[in-house]
């Protein structure tokens, strides 16, 4: 239970504003670092990896909302899922932009060759392509226009995006696979939990269930 | 409780720019200015933080055939390093190598040579004239630097050991000190790091047994006290902190080739036409270039084609990468 004085902050507008600002913190940190210490010897790589890391982290946080809601018993969390998902798309967009502008400086021929020939770039671009229609249909109006069933089917692509995102990271590593492995384990838990609930619901059809 | 009474001259709360807004505005202005500066100026601003400089090397002679490109800033070449023994991120080596003891240092010379044995670092170098050579340095990860190294031709040193006719290759080994090298405590690569060259490659006048850079003794993170520099090959061939040199009859195994044979061959010559399976080698990011700038086309043998191409005549470089 929240302390009575605190409950005010858990109310939708304030809580949402707080989460909104929190999600901008990595970008603010990046800007701060750029203005103070700089991005080091290979700034294009630094910025690109930083943005990619956060795109993947937000994707995993978005995927963690439902399990946390059900395991922790915090139904209020559902409110933040769309915003977090959109932030994943936001950081992924910046990640792709930095790849085009900073890494390759608009060298379209090289970029195209990369996308076709380099498996981890191909996978990364597929993930970005998956996130696009999800971001485009994130409004309440789009839910109505598509109908909840079709909308939900479309947004189940997030599981594929999560798997692709972790693969994308794994595939670019030279020797130190510890960090992508950590992400893979977290993702396995988040997806495994959903499979587990489905299986249990299937074997106990009497019990009510909520969530996907 | 203290209550402050408002005087007429006091600005009303609503007139005062909130501190956050004020500071935010300053940050924004600063950001705009810096972004503009960033876009045009060569990027050495990020290297402005000072790095402790080493001891200068006396009696160094300038080599006449140095590369004409501007050398990479010292602060960049000594803080952005692949030296997995000290950690797997580029910033790790400079951070984790502070306590590494590069002196006293001995090198074991073994295999098919008349004068094998253990040599002191000083005795290895003393008979030779130290040269400063500015070389282009191309990492397999598609970035590059230009570094003024200090060293002696590797071949001149190897000849002193009097290799026999059976010596077809020369193998090198990096020191194994997990207590001083945190990366070696993780089995992500097979330790100690080993590398090798064909005898004619090792004897090539461009191959440099290196003891310094920028006029100073090598910093720990750059392979102190003794490393090899092979400017026409990808950086990982230029093995660091060498403790063993062995003359062998057969091609010696090499660390990255053991780890991922499909990606890293024995030769690993810089070649823009043979891509790494996961990225293109056609272009490179020159470290120190402005943030917004095109990458530079990579040259065959890193621009040393005239010097070294004859070593590989008749070889299919797509197969023997």
The structural domains of chain B, ordered by start, are 53-260 (3.90.420.10)
ipTM: 0.84
- Which of B30, B188, B275 shows the shortest C-beta gap to A176? B188
With contacts defined as CB-CB under 8 Å, which chain B residues touch A34? 34, 38
In angstroms, what CA-CA distances link A37 with A48, A50, B48, B50? 17, 15, 9, 12
Residues 6+ apart with CB under 8 A from A54: A26, A27, A91
CA atoms within 13 A on the CB side of A88: 28
A104 interfacial to chain B (CB closer than 8 Å) = yes
CA distance A12 to chain B (A): 24
How many domains does chain A fold into? 1
B282 interfacial to chain A (CB closer than 8 Å) = yes
Write out the two tokens for B185: 């405590």
Place of tokens 């690569």: B189
The answer to whether B47 contacts A38, with C-beta atoms less than 8 Å apart, is yes
The answer to whether A42 contacts B80, with C-beta atoms less than 8 Å apart, is yes
The answer to whether A104 contacts B30, with C-beta atoms less than 8 Å apart, is no
How many CB atoms lie under 10 A from the CB of residue A53?
A: 16
With contacts defined as CB-CB under 8 Å, which chain A residues touch B222? none
* Closest residue on chain B to A43 (Cα): B291
The answer to whether A45 contacts B143, with C-beta atoms less than 8 Å apart, is yes
User: How many whole angstroms separate alpha carbon B59 and alpha carbon B57?
Assistant: 7
Residue at A72 is within a domain: yes
CA distance B157 to chain A (A): 33
Residue at A209 is within a domain: no
In this prediction, residue A178 carries a pLDDT of 95
The answer to whether A41 contacts B282, with C-beta atoms less than 8 Å apart, is no
Place A203 in a pLDDT band, splitting at 50, 70 and 90: confident
Mean pLDDT of A104-124: 95
The answer to whether B188 contacts A120, with C-beta atoms less than 8 Å apart, is no
With contacts defined as CB-CB under 8 Å, which chain B residues touch A35? 27, 30-31, 34
User: How many whole angstroms separate alpha carbon A91 and alpha carbon A97?
Assistant: 10
**Does the structure show a pLDDT above 60 at B45?**
no
* Closest residue on chain B to A101 (Cα): B292
Residue at A212 is within a domain: no
- Which of A110, A172, A175 shows the shortest C-beta gap to B189? A175
> Per-residue pLDDT tens for B162-179?
999 999 999 999 999 999
| Sign of the dihedral through C-alpha B204, B206, B212, B215 | positive
Which of A64-78, B221-235, B307-321 is least confident? Answer: A64-78
The answer to whether A110 contacts B88, with C-beta atoms less than 8 Å apart, is no
Mean pLDDT of A188-206: 88
Mean pLDDT of B229-237: 98
> Per-residue pLDDT tens for B50-62?
566 888 999 999 9
B276 interfacial to chain A (CB closer than 8 Å) = no
In angstroms, what CA-CA distances link A11 with A15, A20, A168, B140, B214? 6, 14, 38, 53, 61
**Does the structure show a pLDDT above 60 at A57?**
yes
With contacts defined as CB-CB under 8 Å, which chain B residues touch A120? 278
Question: Domain limits at A122?
Answer: 8-199
State the angle between helix axes of A108-117 and A119-136 in degrees (0 to 180), rounded to the nearest 10: 100
Residue at A94 is within a domain: yes
Residue at A191 is within a domain: yes
User: How many whole angstroms separate alpha carbon B167 and alpha carbon B145?
Assistant: 33
Residue at A2 is within a domain: no
Residue at A211 is within a domain: no
CA distance B145 to chain A (A): 10
Which of A36-45, B16-25, B60-69, B144-153 is least confident? Answer: B16-25
B95 interfacial to chain A (CB closer than 8 Å) = no
B319 interfacial to chain A (CB closer than 8 Å) = no
Mean pLDDT of A144-151: 94
Mean pLDDT of A19-33: 97
Residue at A29 is within a domain: yes
Place A206 in a pLDDT band, splitting at 50, 70 and 90: low
> Per-residue pLDDT tens for B81-136?
999 999 999 999 999 999 999 999 999 999 999 999 999 999 999 999 999 999 99
The full 3-state SS of chain B, as one line of letters, equals: CCCCCCCCCCCCHHHCCCHHHHHHHHHHHHHHHHHHHHHHCCCCHHHCCCCCCCCECCCEEECCCCCCCCCCCHHHHCCCCCCHHHCCCCCHHHHHCCCCCCCCCEEEEEECECCCEEEEHHHHHCCCCEEEEEEEEECCCCEEEEEEEEEEEHHHHHHHCCECCCCCEEEEEECCCCCCCHHHHCCCCCCCCEEEEEHHHHCCCCCEEEEEECCEECCHHHCCCCEEECCCECHHHCCCCEEEEEEECCCCCCHHHHHCCCCCCCCCECCCCCCECCECCCEEEECCCCCCCCCEECCHHHHCHHHHHHHHCCCCCCCCC
The answer to whether B280 contacts A39, with C-beta atoms less than 8 Å apart, is no
- Which of A35, A43, A113 shows the shortest C-beta gap to B30? A35
The answer to whether B287 contacts A42, with C-beta atoms less than 8 Å apart, is yes
CA atoms within 13 A on the CB side of A55: 29
With contacts defined as CB-CB under 8 Å, which chain B residues touch A41? 46-47, 76-77, 79-80, 90, 287-288
């Amino acid at each position: 239970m929240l302390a009575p004085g605190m409950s005010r902050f858990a109310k939708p507008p304030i809580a949402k504003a707080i989460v909104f600002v929190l999600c901008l913190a990595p970008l603010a940190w990046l800007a701060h670092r750029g203005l103070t210490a700089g991005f080091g010897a290979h700034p294009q790589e630094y910025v690109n990896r930083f943005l990619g890391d956060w795109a993947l982290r937000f994707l995993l946080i978005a995927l963690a909302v439902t399990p946390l809601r059900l395991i922790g018993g915090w139904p209020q969390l559902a409110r933040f899922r769309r915003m977090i998902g959109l932030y994943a798309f936001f950081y992924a967009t910046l990640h792709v932009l930095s790849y085009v502008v900073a890494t390759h400086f608009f060298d379209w021929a090289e970029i195209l060759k990369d996308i076709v020939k380099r498996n981890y770039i191909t996978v990364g671009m597929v993930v970005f392509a998956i996130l696009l229609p999800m971001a485009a249909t994130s409004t309440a109006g789009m839910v109505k226009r598509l109908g909840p069933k079709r909308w939900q089917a479309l947004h189940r692509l997030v599981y594929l995006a999560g798997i692709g995102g972790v693969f994308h990271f794994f595939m670019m590593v030279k020797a130190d696979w510890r960090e992508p492995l950590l992400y893979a384990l977290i993702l396995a838990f988040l997806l495994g939990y959903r499979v587990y609930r489905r299986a249990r619901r299937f074997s106990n059809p009497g019990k009510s269930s909520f969530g996907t | 409780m203290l209550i402050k009474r408002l005087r007429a001259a006091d600005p009303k709360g609503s007139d005062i720019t909130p501190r956050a807004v004020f500071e935010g505005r300053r940050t924004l202005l600063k950001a705009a200015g810096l972004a503009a500066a960033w876009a045009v100026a060569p990027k050495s601003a990020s290297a402005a933080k000072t790095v402790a400089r080493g001891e200068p090397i006396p009696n160094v002679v300038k080599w006449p055939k140095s590369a004409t490109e501007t050398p990479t800033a010292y602060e960049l070449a000594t803080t952005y390093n692949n030296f997995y023994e000290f950690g797997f991120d580029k910033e790790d080596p400079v951070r984790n190598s502070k306590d590494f003891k590069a002196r006293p240092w001995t090198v074991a010379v073994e295999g098919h040579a008349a004068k094998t044995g253990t040599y002191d670092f000083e005795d290895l170098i003393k008979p030779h004239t130290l040269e400063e050579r500015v070389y282009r340095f191309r990492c397999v990860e598609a970035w590059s630097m230009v570094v003024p190294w200090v060293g002696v031709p590797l071949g001149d040193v190897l000849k002193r050991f009097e290799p026999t006719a059976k010596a077809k290759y020369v193998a090198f080994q990096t020191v194994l000190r997990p207590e001083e090298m945190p990366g070696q405590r993780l089995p992500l690569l097979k330790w100690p790091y080993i590398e090798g060259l064909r005898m004619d490659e090792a004897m090539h006048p461009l191959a440099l047994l290196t003891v310094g850079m920028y006029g100073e003794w090598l910093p720990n993170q750059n392979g102190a006290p003794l490393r090899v520099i092979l400017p026409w090959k990808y950086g990982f061939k230029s093995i660091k902190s060498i403790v063993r040199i062995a003359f062998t009859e057969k091609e010696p195994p090499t660390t990255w080739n053991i780890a991922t044979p499909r990606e890293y061959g024995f030769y690993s010559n810089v070649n823009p036409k043979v891509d790494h399976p996961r990225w293109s080698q056609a272009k490179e990011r020159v470290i120190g270039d402005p943030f917004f700038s095109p990458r530079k086309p990579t040259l065959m043998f890193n621009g040393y084609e005239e010097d070294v191409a004859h070593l590989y005549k008749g070889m299919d470089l797509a197969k023997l990468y």
